[in-house]
Amino acid sequence: MSEEQSQDRQLDQLSKPLERLKKLRERNQPADPEDEDPIDKYYRQTFATAEGKKVLRHLAQELGYQLTSVVVNPQNGQVNTDGLLFNEVRRSVYLEIRQRLTKDILMEVEYE
């Protein structure tokens, strides 16, 4: 196989997942801005401000967004399912907020 054919094959392999991602993004966007849930707009407006980003960072930290949900009993090494469930429910609150925000807001909050 020539180098050019190899590069074409690599591009084809990369383009398929990118097309799938593009379709998923389009499916998750309202076709018409009027179809958008107004609460999503309010979330974006709130968390786009400097103060809102500080609150969002605080919520991510307090709700355990980037922490593991698993709680292990140190005495017997077993998973504490009540603790795990509690942590997952707390984390799900942040995930619900996160779902309503733009990528730009999330990048500033989660990667700074």
Is 54 a domain residue? yes
Is 13 a domain residue? no
The reported pLDDT for the residue numbered 112 is 77
Six-digit token pair at 2? 């020539």
The reported pLDDT for the residue numbered 2 is 73
Q: Are 49 and 103 in contact, with CB atoms under 8 Å apart?
A: no
**Residue among 89, 38, 111, 27 at smallest CA distance from 81:** 89
User: What is the chain's pLDDT, residue by residue, as a tens digit (112 residues)?
Assistant: 677 777 677 666 666 666 766 665 665 555 555 667 899 999 999 999 999 999 999 999 999 999 999 999 999 999 999 999 999 999 999 999 999 999 999 999 999 7
Single-letter code of the amino acid located at 47: F
Who contacts 108 (Cβ-Cβ below 8 Å, separation ≥6)? 53
**What is the DSSP code (8-state) at residue 111?**
-
Residue with tokens 């786009």: 48
Is 97 a domain residue? yes
Is 83 a domain residue? yes
The rounded distance, in Å, linking the Cα atoms of 7 and 15 is 12
Is 53 a domain residue? yes
Is 21 a domain residue? no
Q: How many structural domains compose the chain?
A: 1
Is 80 a domain residue? yes
Domain that includes residue 60, residue range: 39-110
Is 26 a domain residue? no
